Amino acid sequence: MRLVHWALVLDIAALWWTGTERLLDWHRLAGYAMAALVLFRLAWGFVGSDTARFASFVQGPRRAYAYLRDELFDRHAPPHFGHNPLGGWSVAAMLGLLATQVALGTLAVDVDGIESGPFSYLVEFDTGRAAAEWHHLLFNVLLGLIALHIVAVVFYATYRRHNLVATMVTGSRPGTGHELSDRFVSVWVALAIMLLSAGLVWASVKYLGQV
């Protein structure tokens, strides 16, 4: 899971660069990788380790607001193991946005009608153009979310003095009494789900898509 997070970071950077430079062959490949990563993350949200499960961190807006009001700026508040109620929403938003971007990208058509996503043959030119425009627009929203995410990490590092980056690498969080997730699902299960996600993406592009 932590590996997937850093893979997402690298893949978003790759997508940004290939998209801006119009290296669309590579952009498509990086997009398929993104589709597989998002699929994996969705599945892992249901069957993965405790801290990765949606049920463990997606909480109602009231809890998120209460966290924002009572805990966020309190230096003495005990750290959460896993995502806090507010961070959970940030994860959900990020994942939802990435999934939307993948979907729009598969339908997008460039203005010359040459480069296009693998499923763009299913839609009209105008629809494909609209998908491309939204794809472009939502990327800026994604950049905003990423900026917010980084600001939050820096805030925790300086104001709350929690090194979240280290936690995201090692998986342990000092002061919570947890070393690793209580229910830590095997790396092999993760690998199997990752392969399955990649296989699913590959097969849908190969058999349903047109490139």
Told to check if 205 binds other proteins by CB under 8 A, we report no
Residue 134 or 184 with smaller CB distance to other proteins: 134
User: CB of 68: closest distance to other proteins in angstroms?
Assistant: 37
Told to check if 129 binds other proteins by CB under 8 A, we report yes
Buried b (16+ CB within 10 A) or exposed e, 189-204: ebeebbeebbeebeee
Told to check if 124 binds other proteins by CB under 8 A, we report yes
**How many residues contact other proteins, by CB under 8 A?**
17
Residue 137 or 191 with smaller CB distance to other proteins: 137
The Cα 97–Cα 9 span in angstroms is 14
Contact criterion met (CB below 8 Å) for 182 and 171: no
User: CB of 210: closest distance to other proteins in angstroms?
Assistant: 4
SS3 per-residue string spanning 95-138: HHHHHHHHHHHHHCECCCCCCECCCHHHCCHHHHHHHHHHHHHH
Q: Which residues bind other proteins (CB under 8 A)?
A: 109, 111-114, 116, 120-121, 124-126, 128-129, 133, 136, 210-211
